[in-house]
Amino acid sequence: MTHKPWLRTYPEEIPSSLTYANQPVQDYLKKAAEDYPEKIAIHFMGKEFTYRTIYESAIKLAAYLQELGIEKGDRVAIMLPNIPQAVISYFGILMAGGIVVQTNPLYMERELEYQMKD
């Protein structure tokens, strides 16, 4: 077993590992939208977004990306700051079958070129 000294600091009631369902991460958003459609998922600069809003927006983006020709396994870059649209984009790309490539919106052209080639 790998030595993990930080586990000694965990309170007794906190497990050292968790078990998660074997499902795509976008299914968690779908379930949250079904179970808590009107619950606020994101507060941003005075505006609130519900789980339903995030989910429905991601579905619309996924459909649009597929119309553009995005297929399962295609890499799609997100070049946005930490705003609600970045969350919607993340889930929309996954729902379309794409692989999310997060990139820093502050990258200079040469840095972005290097990442895109990689």
Tens digits of residue pLDDT in 4-53: 899 989 999 999 999 988 999 999 999 999 999 999 999 999 999 999 99
- Where on the phi/psi map is residue 80: left (φ > 0), alpha (ψ -120 to 50), or beta? beta
The pTM of the full predicted model, rounded to 2 decimals, is: 0.83
pLDDT in tens, 47-80: 999 999 999 999 999 999 999 999 999 999 999 9
The vertex-77 CA angle with 65 and 104, nearest 5°, equals 145
Q: Rounded to the nearest 5 degrees, what angle is found at the Cα of 19, between the Cα atoms of 7 and 54?
A: 110
Domains plus CATH for the chain? 23-117 (3.40.50.980)
